[in-house]
Amino acid sequence: MTVFTLPDLGEGLQEAEIVAWHVSQGDHVMTDQPLLSVETDKAVVEVPSPNSGTVKQIIAQEGEVIAIGAPLIDIVTGTADDKGAIVGELAQHTLTASTANKPDAGGTAPAPSTAKATPAVRQLAREKGIDLASVTGSGPRGTILSSDILAAETGSGSGQPLRGVRRSMALAMARSRDSVVPATVTDRADIHSWSANEDPTLRLVQALAVACRAEPALNAWFDGQERQVHTHVDLAIAVDTPGGLFTPVLRAVHTRSNLSTRIADLKAAVAARTIAPEALRGATITLSNFGMLGGAFAQLVVTPPQVAILGAGRIEEACVAQDGQTVVRRVLPLSLTFDHRVVTGAEAARFLCAARTDLERPSQAARD
């Protein structure tokens, strides 16, 4: 018998949350077959079986946060009859006719379920009296997790611990609070010359790349002792989801190559929860276009080891002075929060000025 432990997931990670098991006790598994999915650093990854055998016992349960090296599962190694299919596949599952037609306690046959969920999650839903059809899954490709069932449970009056993306966000915010000395400068860009179909996110990405070239001090990492200024721009873009905040990384923004397509691909991967772990790491600076939801200015949160984040507020019309006259112009509020331990106020001001100047270029000056 082999006790399989949570393997090293790389990037210095010390723990992970179990999202879903793809096997059950008594199942025969093959080497490299996915055993379970775990979530770490906001990405869901599959953990394969190290060898073939029969599942004797599942030790760690869905929703648990366990440390690297902690026991996951007992597998009795050796030969066994292959069942002819991958165990626990999370494809859309419809209840069998015998199960679907079985009356419930009230004598009514339940409708077939097409929700994506493992047998353990379905059992939990039955125990809690939760209709799977009413639950929105937060797992990969909409898979319903045990945490989704617990969140949907009503009448308990008790809170639930943070899980998954929200737990990762809470830890990241706490690290920032404990180390960064934040300061914020604001400005407004006159974007009256933009065309009606201008993509604000694309223009912001391009402007941020220009600003990093003009003032590299903000495109840097600082670990509390050493500063590393980058010549490349790997931009984290804040993406809001029902499950929490994601920050996928748009690589090599400074090359300005095919940016609009790559931005759309990243957002689609986040929405489908198929984003790879490496696509969430290694950013040199962050952009938050929070104005799409509301708000004008903000003091944002810098995520170490980064030293800066640029935020864009709600585009609005404002009265401004032009040639001694009051005119109405479309303006874009900008907020730049930086780590004042390593970035000076003058460096931040130059960065923000460069970004504003690029944003104020007319539409034909923007190039993807």
Judged against a pLDDT cut of 50, whether residue 194 lies above it is answered with: yes
SS (H, E, C) 61-114: CCCCEEECCCEEEEEEECCCCCCCCCCCCCCCCCCCHHHHCCCCCCCCCCCCCC
Per-residue pLDDT, 83: 40
Residue 140 near residue 128 (C-beta atoms within 8 A)? no
SS3 327: strand
Q: Rounded to an integer, what distance in angstroms lies between the CA atom of residue 302 and that of residue 172?
A: 10
Residue listed under structure tokens 């002075």? 321
Lowest mean pLDDT among 89-103, 220-234, 276-290, 340-354: 89-103
Domains annotated on the chain, with CATH: 2-77 (2.40.50.100), 97-152 (4.10.320.10), 181-365 (3.30.559.10)
pLDDT bracket for residue 216 (50, 70, 90): very high
Edge-first strand order for the sheet with 65-67 is 43-48, 34-40, 15-21, 65-67
Lowest mean pLDDT among 64-78, 89-103, 244-258: 89-103
Which amino acid makes up residue 275? I
Global confidence as pTM:
0.69
| Residue with the larger pLDDT of the pair 167 and 113 | 167
Q: Characterize 278-305 residue by residue with b for buried, 16 or more Cβ atoms within 10 angstroms of its Cβ, and e for exposed.
A: ebbbebbbbbbbbbeeeebbbebbbbbb
Spell out the residues 6+ positions from residue 87 whose beta carbon is closer than 8 angstroms to its own.
22, 23, 24, 27, 28, 29, 33
Q: Prior bond to 140 cis, omega within 30?
A: no
Judged against a pLDDT cut of 70, whether residue 131 lies above it is answered with: yes
Neighbours of 12 (CB within 10 A): 7
Q: Which residues pair with 47 in a beta bridge?
A: 36
- Mean predicted confidence (pLDDT) in 214-232: 97
Spell out the residues 6+ positions from residue 273 whose beta carbon is closer than 8 angstroms to its own.
44, 138, 139, 140, 141, 142
Q: Rounded to an integer, what distance in angstroms lies between the CA atom of residue 288 and that of residue 298?
A: 10
Judged against a pLDDT cut of 60, whether residue 320 lies above it is answered with: yes
Q: Which residues pair with 228 in a beta bridge?
A: 221
pLDDT bracket for residue 1 (50, 70, 90): low
